[in-house]
Amino acid sequence: MHYHVPGTPQSQVLYQADPYLVQQLIPLREHLQNICSRFMNQRVRVQTIDGLVYEGTIVNCDRGLLYLRADHPEWYGRSYDDFIIYLVLYELLVITLLLLY
């Protein structure tokens, strides 16, 4: 539903998610949230649906975002040690636990 408040400019909906897609994404987001919560403070490799690969330690997972402390911040053009990358959960393709030997 779309409301107009008198005295404000009209707005135009540019995008609205398909309700069926939303019904599919919510359980997926919750499932990934549970996985990330179980492996908090663990080293992982994450691949996105765009093929980008990140390695780091899961430091938080909240509201559909995965927060990853990068193992090698210089790979991302950063020179400091505590570089946090945030990734949208529904854009993740693979999460691999990296075991220490």
Name the more confident of 82 and 88.
88
Domains of the chain by residue range? 41-96
In CATH, what is the architecture of 41-96?
Roll (2.30)
What pLDDT sits at residue 60?
94
Report how far Cα 45 is from the mean position of its chain's Cα atoms.
13
Reported as a single tens digit per residue, the pLDDT across 39-79 is: 999 999 999 999 999 999 999 999 889 999 987 756 656 55
Residue 31 has pLDDT above 80, yes or no: yes
